[in-house]
């Protein structure tokens, strides 16, 4: 079937193959980023993985429409962020999911950084509790800024707000976090 298609429509098949190859390369680069964005919103490992998979499926479906491939990273992050928010609202409606700190993920992160002690785990749990207490606008700015590689400008691009707004929200978020963690 593929051979016949290749004979009949060589240009189309080649173009599809190129798209798939390009998407595969971008998927390898950004898979962890999508997972972290989803985890920063949902705070649940399985939900974060589901959201990341759904985001990549959406991205593949609409990949042809993305003219500027260099914007794939921001595009995917925005998609994962919105999908995670939808999942979070759905979880809240069901009321069946308790947003708690995923201990296994924290343990892996702590092991990776050499912070496997109980004090570090307690401090991380307190930090997440403080982040959860933030208003949603501030919380999203904090989460997106905390992900490695995102500066204020990138966060502003992701949220489609001015860079100055990101800075002011980060300032307010830090103030509240310091108050809570004091």
* Contacts to other proteins by CB under 8 A: 20, 23-24, 27-28, 31-32, 35-36, 39-40, 45, 48-49, 52-53, 56-57, 60-61, 105-106, 108-109, 112-113, 115, 123-124, 127-128, 131, 142-143, 145-148, 174, 177-178, 181-182
> CA dihedral in degrees (162, 164, 169, 172; nearest 10)?
-170
> CA dihedral in degrees (70, 85, 113, 182; nearest 10)?
120
Count CB neighbours of 138 within 10 A.
21
Q: Which is nearer to other proteins, 27 or 74 (CB)?
A: 27
CB of 127 to other proteins, least distance (A): 5
CB of 2 to other proteins, least distance (A): 10
Q: Which is nearer to other proteins, 75 or 95 (CB)?
A: 75
Q: Reduced to 3 states, what is the DSSP secondary structure of residue 66?
A: coil
CB of 179 to other proteins, least distance (A): 10
CB of 153 to other proteins, least distance (A): 17
| 175, two tokens | 């103030």
Q: Reduced to 3 states, what is the DSSP secondary structure of residue 48?
A: helix
Q: Which is nearer to other proteins, 2 or 93 (CB)?
A: 2
**Alpha-carbon gap, residue 8 to 147, rounded angstroms:** 47
């Amino acid at each position: 079937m593929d051979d016949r298609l290749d004979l009949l429509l060589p240009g189309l098949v080649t173009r599809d193959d190129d798209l798939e190859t390009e998407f595969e390369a971008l998927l390898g680069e950004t898979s962890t980023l999508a997972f972290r964005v989803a985890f920063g919103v949902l705070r649940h490992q399985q939900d974060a993985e589901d959201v990341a998979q759904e985001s990549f499926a959406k991205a593949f479906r609409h990949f042809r429409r993305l003219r500027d491939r260099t914007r794939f990273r921001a595009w995917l992050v925005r998609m994962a962020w919105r999908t995670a928010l939808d999942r979070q609202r759905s979880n809240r409606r069901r009321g069946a999911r308790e947003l708690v700190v995923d201990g296994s993920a924290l343990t892996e992160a702590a092991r990776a950084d050499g912070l496997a002690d109980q004090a570090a785990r307690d401090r991380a749990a307190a930090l997440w509790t403080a982040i959860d207490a933030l208003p949603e606008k501030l919380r999203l700015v904090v989460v997106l800024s905390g992900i490695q590689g995102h500066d204020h400008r990138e966060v502003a691009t992701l949220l489609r707000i001015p860079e100055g707004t990101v800075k002011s929200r980060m300032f307010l978020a830090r103030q509240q976090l310091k108050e809570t963690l004091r």
